Structure 1
Amino acid sequence: MAKLSIVTAVLALLGMANAQCGSGTPHAKVTGSGSSFTASKGSSTVYTGSDYRAAIQAAVDSIGDGQRVSVIASGSIGASTITIGSGKIFEGCGTINVASRSGKGAIESLNTQGVQIPYLTMTGNPYFGLRFYGTKDLTLGKITMNLSGGLGIRFDRDAAANSNVKMDTITVTGASSHAVETWNINGLTINSVIAKDVGEAGLLLQKTTNAKVKLVDGNNVGTGTGYATLRFANNNGQLASGAYTTNVVIDKVVSRGGGRGVFCVSQSGGATIGTVNLRDNTNNAVLIENCYNLRINGGTVNGGGEVRISARSEFPNTKDIWITLKVDGTSVRESPCADNSNWTLSGSGGRNIC
């Protein structure tokens, strides 16, 4: 039994080691520091020199479908772009510092299939940190962005749609725009989006269907704006048939300070939020505006702006809303009245509902 326990422990440790960035034997690597970098594939050198971005791109270009490149070195790519093709696995084990290139991502994968980025640490001020469109079976793992501006992860609006996108833990600090912004995804799974000191939204979902998100956590997100820790916009959750059958499920939203906590707007809906924990949002804690078939099944709002159902005249009225909340230190208001609003409220917050 003792031998079996030792073997089990060793296997567990090996499993943990294999799960680390750069572990095992990557097909290609980028090593070096300062102004000296080497990209190698196996025993062959594919680049050596002072250009960090060129070293990374050479390593990426050297691998094929299902192969892995590990960027061990840290450095700066400046205002340039790393491009990842179909089937490639990209690990950013060092810290990749970036600068803004108008309309472009510091790292891009466009019209590709089966790309994986299991690990990435990025700093700097990108236009987009990661940029995607036309992807299928894209997997993002543990992505950490400690930025001084820009937008974290972007799926383009006016480009080919995406399907089956998976993300593990996305942590974005210091972006001047959104932490994560999606357009045109059918099939999205996210473990967590953690946004801190972000200028606009934490997680902004647009024209995205069949989505499942475990946690959205925002601290000082969208201060002074109409954005929110979690925002549904631009027909998010509307199925191809035009229906708003529930297909977007968010387990939990946590929001502290910043702008709004939860915002559903511009003909979005088809969504269920399991629970919220919203405190001291300076704009609406919750705003539901021209939104259809939305449920918030529980949680608390404490202080900050009001919880409100609203509507603009240019869209069909808000419809089919179910809200269960404990509200303290702020008010609840419905104006204009939604079609089929259902409130289950507790707490001391004032109420002006239909």
Structure 2
Amino acid sequence: MAKFSILTAVLALASAVQAQCGSGTPHATVTGSGNSFTANRGSTRVYSGSDYRAAIQAALDSIGSGQRVSVMASGSIGAGTISISSGKIFEGCGTINVGNRGGRGAIESLNTQGVQIPYLTMTGNPYFGLRFYGTRDLTLGEITMNLSGGMGIRFERDYAANSNVKMGTIRVTGAGSHAVETWNIDGLTIDRVIARNVGECGLLIQKTTNAQVGLVDGDNVATGTGYATLRFANNNGQNPNGNYNTNIYVDKVVSRGGGRGFFCVSQSGAAVIKEVDLANNGNNAILIENCYNLSIRGGRVNGGGEVRVAARSEFPNTRDVWITLNVDNTSVRESPCGENVNWSLTGNGRRDIC
């Protein structure tokens, strides 16, 4: 009876969330199915035909800043791209199936301000499902990607930086690469990233400052690779003045199987992780390598690869690390010795620390 009640509640919540997408009176809508789609802005028809992507783009192009498009229809955009300009609100209430366009996103917002994507359900094999750079005040809400390859969300490395990015719950299944990869963000808030059967990272954060993340939850993420459910890399957390004063905060990391659980590398740090729950990772449960001012304040590791503090010679040595952890059925190793590495360990795990 209890299980039935829980399931009923979950289904009711899911239905309520879905019902919110397209609620009220959107400024523009896309409706239809099969090979027949219609885009309307209010009472004005702006597209009618067989091209699902063209219908969506016509609807977006018909509205102004602060206005909302609700895509009620499901369909396929092929290897095309939907572009969202500043101030527009885009709701994908149907399922948007996408193809692969080299170097591009199925949905993009580039050099924009105030874009919102409150709801989106995507399937297919994109190069990038969502692609961003140069954004300010970007908000992503309930994003679900059930993919057969490609990457989920990408913030580009070699283009304009981003500020004040917010994400709700990002669910990615089946990506061949990362579920979520960020570069060049100042001010990042993420409620949850839930990654399942993903080829590389669940959440990869790079050259990002002032970030707050709730939960990163990975199952069968990065199997057979050096990637991790959560990875900090490429000077992540380093402040503009070069110091590593704490500005990255993560509430919890959960990882089962796959590759690494948590990996901090290449002069990253400035981070606090409140809790980890890692089990049976195929590579290191935790690897901290050339990272500075990093604190793991609690949690557990059970089985899988070792917990290790390490360093490569091309970067300054790992320093200022605090780890409070219960480790069972795997080992803990510090090699080479870091600087000011502080361990508070329980559990049966073998220890080889400085």
Q: Give the letter for the 1:147 counterpart.
A: L
C-alpha distance after superposition, 1:238-293 (max 9, x if no partner)? 00000100000000000000000000000000000000000000000000000000
Query: How far does residue 17 in structure 1 lie from its aligned partner after superposition?
Result: 8.1
> Once superposed, which parts of structure 1, at least 4 consecutive aligned residues long, lie more than 3 Å away?
16-19
Q: What does 1:49-198 correspond to in 2, within 5 Å? A: 49-198=49-198
Q: Secondary structure of the equivalent of 2:20? A: coil
Whole-Å Cα distance in 1 between the matches of residues 123 and 338 of structure 2? 44
- SS of residue paired to 2:282: coil
Match of 1:30 in 2: 30
Give the Cα separation in 1 of the matches to 2:55 and 2:17: 26
Tell me if structure 2 keeps the 8 A contact 1:75–1:95. Answer: yes
Give the Å deviation of 1:18. 10
Task: Look up the equivalent residue of 2:352 and give its one-letter code.
Answer: N
* CA-CA distance at 1:211 after TM superposition: 0.1
Residues 17 and 79 (structure 1 numbering): CA distance in 2 closer, same or farther, change over 3 Å? Answer: closer
The CA distance in 2 between the partners of 1:276 and 1:302, in whole Å, is: 11
Give CA-to-partner distance per residue, 1:43-77, whole Å, 9 cap, x none.
00000000000000000000001000000000000
Structure-1-length-normalised TM-score: 0.95
In 2, Cα distance between the equivalents of 1:153 and 1:208?
A: 15
For the residues of structure 2 that align with 1:19 and 1:117, how far apart are their CA atoms?
A: 16
Q: Is contact 1:115–1:139 with CA below 8 Å preserved after alignment?
A: yes
- Match in the other structure for 1:10: none
Deviations 1:104-157 (A, max 9, x none): 000000000000000000000000000000000000000000000000000000
**Is residue 244–residue 270 contact of structure 1 (8 Å, CA) maintained in 2?**
yes
Q: Distance in 1 between matches of 2:321 and 2:20?
A: 44
1:239 pairs with 2:235: no
How many residue pairs match? The answer is 340
Tell me the equivalent position of 1:221. Answer: 221
SS of 1:312's equivalent in the other structure is coil
Residue identity opposite 2:166 in structure 1 = K
State the Cα deviation string for residues 200-243 of structure 1 (Å, max 9, x = none): 00000000000000000000000000000000000000000001
1:2-41 superposed matches below 5 A: 20-41=20-41
Structure 2 gaps, min length 5:
1-12
Quick check: 1:17–1:23 contact (8 Å CA) kept in 2?
no
Q: Distance in 1 between matches of 2:90 and 2:101?
A: 21
CA deviation string 1:12-49 (max 9, x = no partner): x9xx6897000000000000000000000000000000
The superposition leaves residues 135-184 of structure 1 with CA deviations (integer Å, 9 ceiling, x where unpaired) of: 00000000000000000000000000000000000000000000000000
Contact 2:18 / 2:93 at 8 angstroms: preserved in 1? no
Q: Structure 2 vs 1, CA of residues 181 and 243 (structure 1 numbering), >3 Å: closer, same or farther? A: same
Distance verdict in 2 for CA 1:200–1:24, change over 3 Å? same
Root-mean-square deviation (Å): 1.1
Matched residue, 1:328 = 328
What is the match of residue 202 of structure 2?
Answer: 202
Q: After the TM superposition, which residues 241-320 of structure 1 pair with which residues of structure 2 at under 5 Å, given as runs?
A: 241-320=241-320
Q: Aligned partners of 1:72, 1:343: CA distance in 2, in Å?
A: 53
Question: Is contact 1:18–1:24 with CA below 8 Å preserved after alignment?
Answer: no
Paired letter, 1:132: F
CA distance in 2, matches of 1:17, 1:78: 27
Residue in structure 1 matched with residue 7 of structure 2 by the alignment = none
Distance 2:56 2:19 in 1: 22
Cα distance between partner residues in 2 of 1:18 and 1:55: 22
What TM-score, normalized by structure 2, do the two folds share? 0.95
Q: Secondary structure at the match of 1:80?
A: coil
CA distance in 2, matches of 1:101, 1:178: 17
SS of equivalent to 2:77 = strand
